[in-house]
């Protein structure tokens, strides 16, 4: 039997999300969540019955049309029109794991009972998740302010039997899949379209996905850099705890401690050094990697708050007998966090490429370009070019999206976060970091063979042996693109325990 994750008021965090994803858990509403949703809907129905007073998004138009009153017989049409008219996404398909996270996070946000939606609407979103029926969503179209309007409209279209969905690797019309499961399209009631479209679940899902990857890559960057340290025959003194305790940034101290653990028992580490100092890309690893760790933790805290929040509008407060139109859909906290994270992750690639450059430079008794018979063989000359190209692209992508804003909705929505653009850029950067680290791993493992018979630490030797099963030693020139792709796949498949990652 599949395991169940119950949607409730219990805090969602990254380890929980990772467990839900990796264990392929199904979603189910807790009694608490079901009751919250029902109470909110009942309150809204009672509040709007025979009430002609305008309530934004419930019996009015949207955005700059907020002063246009809608008659009661057109409230369902109003919500359906909202979903259809706002489904204006373009660009590439959102990756399916992120679409699945969008469904989960939208359900979580609606489950708190501040949104006034039907129980069956939330249940259908859960059905989509559990059956792997993933709405086709595009990665362009959100300003990250009135919620992720266009992406969430595409996420919501299949509820109405409209739009398209992924089932396995194929795309089908949503109406066809609903009929296959004998599901009737949802008939949206007052406020439901707005509850579905207002929200930050596009940005939040990207951010959660990126952060899961960022935590892992932070660990992998330390492990690969530790191998490079031994491969380049570096001093161990820069990792001495005394250095870091007098400048005790948490990430810096953690990185230094990790390097001491990784390199414990290394023959190369204990050997006498000819060089008094090492280049900054080796000597300052704790300071650089550590600063990225601190950034990851800061952004993790921001997203933990967000994915446990209500981000649609207006919000319904039963106990206080209020329906309040506010701005919880504005993605500014996420936009700033994603931009900060993008810069911090780009730096992991930046310093990694510098270590790769040093390793191929023919220094410290290593052959030029880490190959026998350099000249006849080009060896690892061009992977460093590739890494340099990617690092340069990252610098361009790391330009912050959140400093931009553009007026929309006829001036009603006059400041936007651009958090969706920050999210998609950040994912590209993190994917690029993975590639650059894969290239460094290729170089460090190749250089290590020229240090034989001396060995690195038992821990890293075990890691190296596992990598060698995927990417063998390069004795003479071969198609290194295949090795790069294999190295990336190796990093992606490498499993790390939660207690190490988070």
CB 110 within 8 A of CB 117: yes
Q: Which of 57-71, 215-229, 327-341, 421-435 has the lowest average pLDDT?
A: 57-71
CB 220 within 8 A of CB 437: yes
- Please report the pLDDT score of residue 409 as a whole number: 81
Name the residues annotated as catalytic.
56
CB 364 within 8 A of CB 233: yes
pLDDT band for 270, please (50, 70, 90 cuts). Answer: very high
The single-letter DSSP state of residue 264 is T
Quote the mean pLDDT of the chain.
95
Q: What is the pLDDT of residues 156-205, one digit of tens each?
A: 999 999 999 999 999 999 999 999 999 999 999 989 999 999 999 999 99
- pLDDT > 70? residue 464: yes
- pLDDT > 90? residue 70: no
Q: How far is CA 228 from CA 100, 281, 291, 360, 493, in A?
A: 37, 10, 20, 11, 21
Residue in 107, 119, 121, 269 with CA at minimum distance from that of residue 201: 107
The residue written with tokens 């398209």 in the block is 164
- Please report the pLDDT score of residue 63 as a whole number: 63
Q: Which of 252-256, 308-312, 372-376, 497-501 has the lowest average pLDDT?
A: 497-501
Q: Which of 212-221, 322-331, 435-444 has the lowest average pLDDT?
A: 322-331
Cis omega (within 30 of 0) on the bond before 314?
Answer: yes
State percent of the chain over pLDDT 70: 97
Q: Pinpoint the alpha helices (H) of 246-307.
A: 250-262, 267-270, 280-283, 285-307
Give the tokens for residue 497.
Answer: 């325990």
Q: What is the pLDDT of residues 73-106, one digit of tens each?
A: 777 888 899 999 999 999 999 999 999 999 999 9
- Please report the pLDDT score of residue 64 as a whole number: 62
Domains in the chain: ranges and CATH: 4-199 (1.10.275.10), 206-501 (1.20.200.10)
Give the tokens for residue 476.
Answer: 């003479």
Which residues make beta-bridge pairs with 29?
7
Residue in 192, 78, 84, 206 with CA at minimum distance from that of residue 140: 206
State percent of the chain over pLDDT 90: 87
Which pTM value belongs to this model? 0.96
- Please report the pLDDT score of residue 53 as a whole number: 72
Identify each DSSP E strand in 175-318 by its residue range: 315-317
pLDDT band for 332, please (50, 70, 90 cuts). Answer: very high
- pLDDT > 90? residue 56: no
Max alpha carbon distance in the chain (Å)? 87
What lies within 8 Å, CB to CB, of 172 at 6+ separation is 164, 165
Q: What mean pLDDT is predicted for residues 26-49?
A: 95
CB 79 within 8 A of CB 192: yes
β-bridge pairing 133-135 and 138-140: unpaired
- Please report the pLDDT score of residue 324 as a whole number: 93
Give the tokens for residue 326.
Answer: 């506010």
- 28 sits in which H/E element: strand 26-29
- Whole-angstrom Cα distance, residue 37 to residue 439? 50
- Please report the pLDDT score of residue 410 as a whole number: 80
- Please report the pLDDT score of residue 38 as a whole number: 98
The single-letter DSSP state of residue 198 is S
- Please report the pLDDT score of residue 94 as a whole number: 98
For the purposes of burial, counting CB atoms within 10 Å of the CB of 54, is it exposed (0-12), middle (13-18) or buried (19 or more)?
middle
Residue in 75, 77, 57 with CA at minimum distance from that of residue 67: 57
- pLDDT > 80? residue 65: no
pLDDT band for 62, please (50, 70, 90 cuts). Answer: low
Q: What is the pLDDT of residues 199-238, one digit of tens each?
A: 999 999 999 999 999 999 999 999 999 999 999 999 999 9
Which residues make beta-bridge pairs with 60?
69
- Please report the pLDDT score of residue 146 as a whole number: 85
Residue in 114, 218, 199, 139 with CA at minimum distance from that of residue 500: 218
What is the sign, positive or negative, of the torsion defined by CA atoms of 8, 211, 206, 57?
positive
- pLDDT > 80? residue 140: yes
Give the tokens for residue 488.
Answer: 């990336």
The residue written with tokens 């919880």 in the block is 328
Q: What mean pLDDT is predicted for residues 31-40?
A: 98
If one compares 64 and 108, the residue with the highest pLDDT of the two is 108
């Amino acid at each position: 039997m599949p395991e169940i994750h119950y949607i409730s008021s219990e805090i969602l965090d990254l380890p929980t999300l990772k467990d839900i994803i990796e264990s392929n858990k199904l979603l189910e509403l807790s009694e608490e969540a079901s009751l919250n949703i029902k109470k909110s809907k009942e309150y809204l129905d009672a509040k709007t019955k025979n009430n002609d007073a305008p309530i934004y998004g419930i019996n009015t138009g949207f955005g700059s049309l907020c002063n246009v009153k809608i008659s009661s017989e057109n409230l369902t049409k109003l919500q359906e029109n909202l979903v259809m008219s706002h489904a204006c996404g373009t660009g590439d398909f959102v990756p399916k794991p992120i679409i699945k996270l969008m469904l989960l996070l939208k359900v979580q946000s609606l489950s708190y009972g501040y949104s006034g939606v039907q129980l069956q609407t939330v249940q259908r979103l859960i059905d989509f998740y559990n059956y792997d029926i993933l709405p086709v969503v595009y990665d362009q179209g959100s300003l990250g302010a009135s919620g992720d309007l266009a992406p969430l409209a595409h996420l919501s279209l299949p509820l109405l039997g409209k739009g398209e969905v992924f089932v396995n690797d194929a795309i089908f019309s949503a109406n066809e899949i609903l009929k296959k499961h004998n599901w009737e399209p949802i008939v949206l009631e007052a406020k439901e379209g707005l509850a579905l479209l207002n929200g930050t679940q596009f940005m939040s899902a990207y951010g959660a996905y990126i952060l899961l990857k960022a935590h892992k890559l932070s660990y992998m960057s330390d492990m690969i850099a530790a191998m490079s340290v031994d491969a380049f025959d570096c001093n161990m003194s820069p990792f001495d705890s005394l250095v870091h305790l007098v400048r005790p940034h948490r990430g810096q101290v953690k990185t230094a401690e990790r390097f001491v653990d990784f390199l414990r028992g290394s023959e190369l580490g204990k050997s006498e050094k000819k060089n008094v100092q090492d280049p900054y890309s080796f000597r300052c690893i704790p300071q650089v990697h550590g600063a990225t760790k601190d950034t990851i933790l800061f952004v993790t805290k921001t997203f933990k708050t967000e994915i446990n929040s209500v981000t649609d509008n207006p919000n319904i407060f039963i106990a206080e007998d209020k329906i309040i139109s506010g701005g919880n859909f504005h993605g500014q906290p996420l936009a700033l966090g994603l931009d900060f994270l993008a810069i911090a992750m780009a730096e992991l690639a930046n310093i990694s490429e510098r270590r790769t450059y040093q390793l191929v430079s023919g220094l410290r008794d290593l052959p030029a370009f880490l190959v026998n018979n350099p000249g006849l063989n080009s060896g690892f000359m061009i992977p460093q070019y590739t890494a340099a190209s990617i690092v340069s692209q990252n610098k361009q992508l790391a330009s912050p999206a959140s400093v931009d804003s553009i007026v929309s909705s006829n001036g009603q929505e006059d400041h936007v976060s651009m958090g969706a653009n920050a999210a998609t850029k950040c994912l590209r950067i993190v994917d690029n970091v993975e590639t650059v680290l894969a290239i460094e791993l290729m170089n460090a493992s190749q250089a290590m063979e020229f240090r034989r018979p001396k060995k690195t630490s038992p821990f890293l030797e075990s890691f190296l042996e596992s990598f060698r099963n995927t990417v063998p030693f390069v004795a003479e020139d071969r198609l290194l693109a295949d090795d790069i792709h294999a190295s990336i796949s190796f990093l992606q498949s490498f499993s790390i325990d939660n207690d190490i990652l988070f």
